Amino acid sequence: MAGAEDGPDQHPELDEDEAAYCRRWGAQHAGARELAALYSPGKRLQEWCSVVLCFSLIAHNLVHLLLLARWEHTPLVVLGVVAGALIADFLSGLVHWGADTWGSVELPIVGKAFIRPFREHHIDPTAITRHDFIETNGDNCLVTLLPLLNMAYKFHTQSTEALEQQYPWECFVFCLTIFGTFTNQIHKWSHTYFGLPRWVILLQDWHIILPRKHHRIHHVSPHETYFCITTGWLNYPLEKVGFWRRLEDLIQGLTGEKPRADDMKWAQKIK
């Protein structure tokens, strides 16, 4: 499949580190096969509904924001875009860290639906490159539905004057939801070593979205650092202050639960 990481030997443009990274574990790993088999028709239906509704709301809200746009809003809108990217990056790290570090695939409802993809991804990092648009983005679309629905409600219930006063805030919320919605797509691109559009490669090279080599740091077992996957801007400062390790120590001290125990269980399956 074009765009996937599979078959690094067929792509001389990869350096030795990249080629070795692409070979690591993979789709034939016993744990990866078992986890992939847990993807259900019900889960697929949820993803389809989430994507359709989410992108309908994005289009609806964007039209209303453009109709309300004024030049005097520009400085605050630019600030909102940057703030939205930063907060989305932190939230992506928080969710990623939580799903990587705690919980089990056996948990009711959330286990197979939401934790399973994180376990599969560590065993088979190439799996995400073989997922289509719906499977890649369905869960993020579900998460961003609430703020998008709230924004659409405001556009139909509040006066133009009130909306103009709130315009910079609504732009910030919209940008935050856009970055949040596309986080998994950006994550997928960070695992795609050939066939990417030139504009995506430029965004990665400029570190506007998560770069490929930057994200590889997270995929060194036991996957305990560089969790932010929207822009990756916050990974270095959070690592320097030991944010995730301190948080893990606090939770382990309070609960006695060991970080990444379930993740390692799947990685160690041999048949």
- What's the pLDDT tens digit per position in 136-181? 999 999 999 999 999 999 999 999 999 999 999 999 999 999 999 9
Give pLDDT, residue 103. Answer: 76
- Higher pLDDT, residue 118 or 265: 118
Round to whole Å and give the CA distance between 122 and 145.
27
Is the model more confident about 34 or about 112? 112
Residue carrying the six token digits 């986080």: 183
pLDDT tens digits for range 233-264: 999 999 999 999 999 999 999 999 888 776 55
Classify residue 129: in a domain, yes or no. Answer: yes
Q: Are 24 and 124 in contact (CB under 8 A)?
A: no
Residue 27, Cβ density class (10 Å: 0-12 exposed, 13-18 middle, ≥19 buried): middle
Report the percent of the chain where pLDDT is more than 90.
59
- Whether residue 44 is contained in a domain is answered as yes
Range(s) of the domain holding residue 121: 26-268
pLDDT, residue 30, reads 46
Which of 59-63, 123-127, 148-152, 215-219 has the lowest average pLDDT?
123-127
What does residue 166 show for φ and ψ, rounded to 5 degrees? -90, 0
Question: In one letter, which amino acid is 1?
Answer: M
- Say what the pTM is: 0.81
The lowest-confidence range among 108-117, 154-163, 206-215, 239-248 is: 108-117
Separation of alpha carbons 76 and 171, rounded Å:
9
16 belongs to a structural domain: no
How many distinct structural domains can be found in the chain? 1
- Is there a domain that residue 19 lies in? no
Q: How far apart are CA 146 and CA 114, in angstroms?
A: 18
Residue 20 lies in a domain: no
Q: What is the mean pLDDT of residues 194-211?
A: 95
Distance CA 86, CA 211 (A): 15
Per the domain annotation, does 8 fall within a domain? no
Asked if residue 271 has pLDDT above 70, the reply is no
Q: Would you say how long the chain is, in residues?
A: 271
Q: Is residue 6 part of a domain?
A: no
pLDDT the model gives residue 9: 41
* pLDDT band with cut points at 50, 70 and 90 for residue 58: very high
Average pLDDT, the chain: 84
**Nearest Cα to 21, choosing from 213, 189, 183?**
213
Peptide bond before residue 168 is cis, with ω within 30 degrees of 0: no
Please give the Cα distance from 216 to 85 (Å, whole number). 21
In contact, 122 and 101? CB cutoff 8 Å? no
DSSP states of 35-95: HHTT--HHHHHHHHHHHHHHHHHHHHHHHHHHHH--GGGHHHHHHHHHHHHHHHHHHHHHH
> pLDDT at residue 266 above 60?
no
CA distance 94 to 210: 16
